[in-house]
């Protein structure tokens, strides 16, 4: 029974790591949190990413409720911006902690 619990927890962690480990995903989330919140602005930050992949990662972040899509009123043509949700901010905090942990232990080795 204990093995089943460990396996279940490991699978959950692996699923999360697989999700956040997708190329560009956390970088896009981080940029949106720093007010790079429109598709065209994200494209300037990541010029080598294809429109298709950028759109796909943005859609994934929306589906996971890490960002929300907001229409900017009274703009012609209609403009869209993205904002990081509370869930996304919490995830970014965890990812930044992992970053700091990595820096600490990489320097000490």
Averaged pLDDT for residues 75-94:
93
CB atoms within 10 A of CB 97: 10
Residue 19 confidence (pLDDT) above 90: no
Name the CATH topology of 24-108. Arc Repressor Mutant, subunit A (1.10.10)
Residue 107 confidence (pLDDT) above 80: no
In whole angstroms, what is the distance from residue 73 CA to residue 77 CA? 10
Would you mind telling me the total number of residues written for the chain in this entry? 109
pLDDT tens digits, 34-72:
999 999 999 999 999 999 999 999 999 999 999 999 998
Residue 7 confidence (pLDDT) above 70: no
3-state secondary structure of 24: coil
Residue 41 exposure: Cα atoms within 13 Å on the Cβ side: 14
Q: Helix, strand, coil proportions of the chain in percent (round to 5)? A: 65, 10, 25
Domain ranges of the chain: 24-108
Q: Tell me the pLDDT of the chain averaged across its residues.
A: 89
In whole angstroms, what is the distance from residue 63 CA to residue 57 CA? 10
């Amino acid at each position: 029974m204990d093995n089943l619990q460990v396996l279940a927890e490991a699978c959950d962690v692996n699923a999360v790591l697989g999700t956040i480990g997708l190329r560009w995903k956390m970088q896009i989330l981080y940029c949106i949190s720093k007010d790079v919140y429109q598709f065209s602005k994200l494209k300037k930050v990541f010029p080598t990413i294809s429109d298709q992949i950028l759109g796909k990662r943005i859609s994934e972040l929306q589906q996971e409720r890490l960002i929300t899509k907001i229409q900017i009123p009274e703009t012609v043509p209609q403009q869209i911006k993205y904002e990081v949700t509370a869930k996304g901010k919490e995830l970014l905090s965890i990812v930044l902690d992992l970053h700091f942990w990595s820096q600490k232990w990489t320097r000490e080795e």
